[in-house]
Amino acid sequence: MEAILNWFTSLDATMQIFWGCACVSSLIFLVQALLTLIGMDHDLDFSFGDHLDSDTMDLGGGLSLFSMRSIINFFLGFGWAGIAFSNLITQKWLLYIIAVIVGICFVCLFFFIRKQTKRLESDGTININECLNKACEVYLRIPGQRSGQGKVQISLHGSVHEFPAVTDGEQLASGTHVRVVEVIDGGLLKVVIS
């Protein structure tokens, strides 16, 4: 441990900043990754008190500009970029600018990945009104003149669902291709031959 402290104190101030940011943010990032893998990932948002509402920094889709994850991602990119480019760039001000740009790119990459994974989420609920004007197939025969109910199968959001259905016309046999023209009482579909 003493050798690590001696090495760290022998670095100039700029490299101490970069190594400190890189090591601390990497450690926190690894802990966050492990917590995510075991299902205990809760993003911590900073509160700015009564003077500044943190909701103004909301980027939509549950992403906040000043969340713990985005700040950790910034310092992760900032620290490791500073270390990586320290031998190539001799001017410290340019090294800091490059490190800040890479840190911002890490945050943007994080937001992009989170947005893409949010698109994969689905709560599985179906709005029956989405059935209107959709083509479907009679599963169980539908008696004519609304004298009884049958069932239709309809594809919504990539999966097939079954709904009770009636028709005002003649009886519809199983396998008949129909179209939904009305939603009755929130759960019953009125269909016609398509």
CA-to-CA distance for 11 and 21, rounded, in angstroms?
14
Looking at the structure, do residues 82 and 26 belong to the same domain, yes or no? yes
Looking at the structure, do residues 31 and 84 belong to the same domain, yes or no? yes
Regarding whether 157 and 72 lie in a shared domain, the answer is no
Strands 188-193 and 159-166: parallel
Q: Which two tokens stand for residue 165?
A: 């259905």
Query: Facing residues of 156 across strands?
Result: 159
| Of the residues 120, 155, 172, the one at which a domain ends | 120
Whether 70 and 150 map to the same domain: the answer is: no
Q: Find the domain containing 136 and state its range.
A: 128-193
Q: What is the pLDDT along the chain (194 residues), one digit of tens a residue?
A: 899 889 989 999 999 999 999 999 999 999 988 888 887 765 444 444 444 444 435 555 555 667 888 899 999 999 999 999 999 999 999 999 999 999 999 999 998 988 888 878 766 678 888 899 999 999 999 999 999 999 999 998 888 999 999 999 999 999 999 999 999 987 899 999 98
Taking CA 65 as the corner, what is the angle to CA 111 and CA 28, rounded to the nearest 5 degrees?
Answer: 75
C-alpha 62/C-alpha 82 separation (Å) is 30
- In the chain, the number of structural domains is 2
Whether residues 59 and 11 fall in one domain:
yes
Same structural domain for residues 64 and 159?
Answer: no
| Domain match, 134 and 111 both | no
Q: Helix, strand, or coil here: 194?
A: coil
49 and 93 share one domain: yes
Same domain, 103 and 52: yes
Q: Which runs of E-coded beta strand occur in 9-149? A: 58-60, 63-64, 135-140
Q: Do both 48 and 134 map to the same domain?
A: no
Domain containing residue 158: CATH number: 2.40.50.140
Q: Please check whether residues 58 and 110 belong to one and the same domain.
A: yes
